[in-house]
Amino acid sequence: MIKINENFLKLQAGYLFPEIGRRVRAFKAENPKADVISMGIGDVTQPLAAAVVEAMKKAVDEMGKKETFRGYDDGGVGYEFLRQAIKENDFAVRGADIGIDEIFVSDGAKCDTGNIQEIFGLNNIIAVADPVYPVYVDTNVMAGRTGRAKKNGQYGKIVYMPCEAENNFIPDLPDRAVDIIYLCFPNNPTGAVATKEVLKKWVDFARANKAIIFFDAAYEAFICDPAIPHSIYEIDGAKDVAIEFRSFSKTAGFTGVRCAFTIIPKQLKAYTKDGKAVEVAPVWRRRHCTKFNGVSYVSQAGAAAVYSPQGKKQCRQIIDIYMANAKLILESLSRLGYKVYGGINAPYIWLKTPGRLKSWEFFDLLLTKANVVGTPGAGFGPAGEGYLRLTAFAKPENVKEAMERLAKL
Ligand SMILES: *Cc1c(COP(=O)(O)O)cnc(C)c1O
C-alpha cells in the first residue's frame, strides 16, 4: 500500500492568495463595472530592459546556429560569464570577496530558499521572523522539521521572532540556541531594512551558536540609502556563517524569465553528530547537480546583460518607477493619517489598519469601498494581524488612482 508523506498533510491550506482571489472574484461578480486595482501580489509590471531583450534575442540566434549552439550548461551551476559578472558587480564593488566557484546559478530564489534546508539535518531548530515569506516555513514542514500547526497557524518546534512596530520590524535575537536563522532584508512583507550593526549582531550570534544564517536579499536592488548593506558579506565574519540568496526576478523583472543565484562560501561549515566540521558548498554542489540541470542559456545571457552599462542604467530606471510609486503611496497615506512603514528601501508598504480593524476587515473595506486590493498582513503570520501590505509594483497611473480613491474613503 502506497503511503503519503504525512508531513505534507501538516501544511495549512495555501490560504492567503487563493482567499484574496476568491474575495476579489466574488466582488467583481456582484460589481461587474468596478475597476479593481491590484496592489496585492508581489509581481512586477514593467517590461524587461531593452539591453536584456537584445541579449536574449542574440542568444536565441546563437542557439539556432550549428557553430554557436549550446546544450547543457556544464555542471549546471551557471555559465562563467554570468558568475564573473555577479562576482564583480554584486560583491567585489561592495568589498565582499566572493569567488565564482562560490556562486550557484539557479532558476529562482524561491526554489533555492526552499531547497537549501535539504542538506541540513532534520533535528536542526529553525528560527523565522513573524510575519514571514511562507516558503521558509512550508518547506521545513514538508521536510518534517516541525511539529503540527497550532491554532494561530504557527508550527511546533519553530522559533518565531515577532517583528512589530516596537522593534522596528527587526527581529530580536532568540533567547535560546537555534541552528538555522532565516533573515530577509529588505523585507517582504514589512519593507524593513537591516543596518550593518543589526546584521553584525546576527553574524556574531550565528558564530557563537555555530548556526547558519539563510539571508534572502531578493530585494537588495531597491535599497536607496547608501549606508544600508546590500549583501550580508559586507559584514566581517559573515562568510563563515551565511548563505545568501539573490534573484533577477525583482531586480530586473525576471519573474517570467527565471534566473537567480545562491552564494555558499567555501569556508562555511556544518557539523556531523560527532562534531566534525564539513564544508557545506560541496554538499550543495552535489545536491544541485543531482537534481538540477541548469538555467537556459538564453536566460543567463539576459541576466548577464543586467550588468552591462546599458542594462544597469535601464534596470535602475525601472526600479525608480517602482520606488516613485512607493513614495507616492507613503506620502499619500501619511497625509491621510495612516501609520505606514517600509517603502523607502523596499517595494513594500506595511500599513497599520485604522481603528484597530483586523487585516481581513480592512482588506474587505478597501476592496468594496475603494476597489483596491492589498494583502492582509495576518496572512504572513500572527504578528502581521492589524496590518496590510501594499506593493509598489503596480503601474504608476493605477497607484495614483488608488491613492485618490483612498483619499475619498
Ligand atoms: C519574490 C521573492 C523571491 C524571488 O523568487 P524567484 O523564485 O527568484 O522569483 C525570493 N524571496 C522573496 C522574499 C521574494 O519575495
C-alpha closest to that of 218 among 136, 340, 328, 121: 136
User: For ligand 1, is residue 255 a contact (CB within 6 Å)?
Assistant: yes
Distance in Å, CA 259 to ligand 1 centroid: 11
How far apart are the C-alpha atoms of 110 and 118, rounded to whole Å? 14
The half-sphere exposure of 205 on its side-chain side, counting CA atoms within 13 A, is 20
pLDDT at 183: 98
Q: Which atom of ligand 1 is nearest to the CA of 187?
A: 13
Q: What are phi and psi of 126, to 5 degrees?
A: -105, 150
Does any ligand 1 atom lie closer than 6 A to the CB of residue 350? no
Compute CA distances 182 → 129, 174, 409, whole Å.
Answer: 7, 12, 38
Ligand 1 center from residue 65 Cα (angstroms): 34
Per residue of the chain (409 residues), give pLDDT as tens: 999 999 999 998 777 888 999 999 999 999 999 999 999 888 999 999 999 999 999 999 999 999 999 999 878 999 999 999 999 999 999 999 999 999 999 999 999 999 999 999 999 999 999 999 999 999 999 999 999 999 988 999 999 999 999 999 999 999 999 999 999 999 999 999 999 999 999 999 999 999 999 999 999 999 999 999 999 999 999 999 999 999 999 999 999 999 999 999 999 999 999 999 999 999 999 999 999 999 999 999 999 999 999 999 999 999 999 999 999 999 999 999 999 999 999 999 999 999 999 999 999 999 999 999 999 999 999 999 999 999 999 999 999 999 999 999 8
Mutational pocket test of ligand 1: of 44, 112, 133, the residue with most ligand atoms within 8 Å of the beta carbon: 133
pLDDT of the residue at 13: 74
Residue labelled with grid coordinates 496590518: 387
Q: What is the predicted pLDDT for the residue at 73? A: 87
162: Cα separation from own chain's centroid: 18
Q: Is the CB of 250 under 6 A from ligand 1?
A: yes
Query: In the CATH hierarchy, which fold is given to the domain comprising 6-47+310-407?
Result: Aspartate Aminotransferase, domain 1 (3.90.1150)
Distance from residue 133's CA to the centre of ligand 1 (Å) = 9
Ligand 1 site, residue 188, Cβ cutoff 6 A: yes
Ligand 1: centre distance to CA 336 (Å): 31
Q: Pairing mode, if any, of strands 212-216 and 180-184?
A: parallel
pLDDT value for 104: 98
Is 258 close to ligand 1, i.e. is its CB under 6 Å away?
A: no
CB atoms within 10 A of CB 364: 15
Task: Write down the pLDDT at residue 336.
Answer: 97
Per-residue pLDDT, 292: 95
Grid coordinates belonging to 215: 539571508
Atom of ligand 1 nearest to the CA of 216: 11
Return the C-alpha cell found at 264: 555558499
Residue nearest to atom 12 of ligand 1 (CA): 218
Q: What is the 3-state secondary structure (H, E, C) of the chain?
A: CCCCCHHHHHCCCCCHHHHHHHHHHHHHHHCCCCCCEECCCCCCCCCCCHHHHHHHHHHHHHHCCCCCCCCCCHHHCCCHHHHHHHHHHHHHHHCCCCCHHHEEEECCHHHHHHHHHHHCCCCCCEEEEECCCHHHHHHHHHHCCCCCECCCCCECCCEEEECCHHHCCCCCCCCCCCCEEEEECCCCCCCCCCCHHHHHHHHHHHHHHCCEEEEECCCHHHCCCCCCCCCHHHCCCHHHCEEEEEEHHHHCCHHHCCCEEEECCCCCEEECCCCCEEEHHHHHHHHHHHHCCCCCHHHHHHHHHCCCHHHHHHHHHHHHHHHHHHHHHHHHHHHCCCCEEECCCCCEEEEECHHHCCHHHHHHHHHHHHCEECEEHHHHCHHHCCEEEEECCCCHHHHHHHHHHHHHC
For residue 37, how far is its CA from the centre of ligand 1 (angstroms)? Answer: 22
- In a mutational test of the pocket of ligand 1, which residue from 44, 250, 322 has the highest number of ligand atoms less than 8 Å from its CB? 250
SS (H, E, C) 313-328: HHHHHHHHHHHHHHHH
- Cα(249) to ligand 1 centroid in Å equals 7
Residues 220/221/225/227 CA torsion (nearest 10 deg): 50
> Which fold, 69-307?
Aspartate Aminotransferase; domain 2 (3.40.640)
Q: Which residue is associated with the grid cell 566540521?
A: 277
**Strand partners for 129:** 161
What's the 244 CA to ligand 1 centre distance in angstroms? 13
Cβ–ligand 1 contact at 371 (below 6 Å): no
User: Which residue's CA is the nearest one to ligand 1's atom 11?
Assistant: 218
Q: Is 112 in the pocket of ligand 1 (CB under 6 A)?
A: no
**Nearest atom of ligand 1 to the alpha carbon of 111:** 7
Which residue lies with its CA nearest to atom 2 of ligand 1? 218
Counting from 1 in the atom list of ligand 1, the atom nearest the Cα of 188 is: 13
* pTM over the 0.85 mark: yes
Sign of the C-alpha dihedral computed for residues 64, 69, 75 and 77 taken in this order: negative
Residue 393 is placed in which grid cell? 509594483
Q: Where are the domains of the chain?
A: 6-47+310-407, 69-307
Please, which residues have CB within 8 angstroms of residue 282's CB and are 6 or more apart in sequence? none
Contacts of 173 (CB under 8 A, 6+ apart): 201, 202, 205
**Which of 17, 110, 193, 295 best tests ligand 1's pocket when mutated (most atoms within 8 Å of CB)?**
110
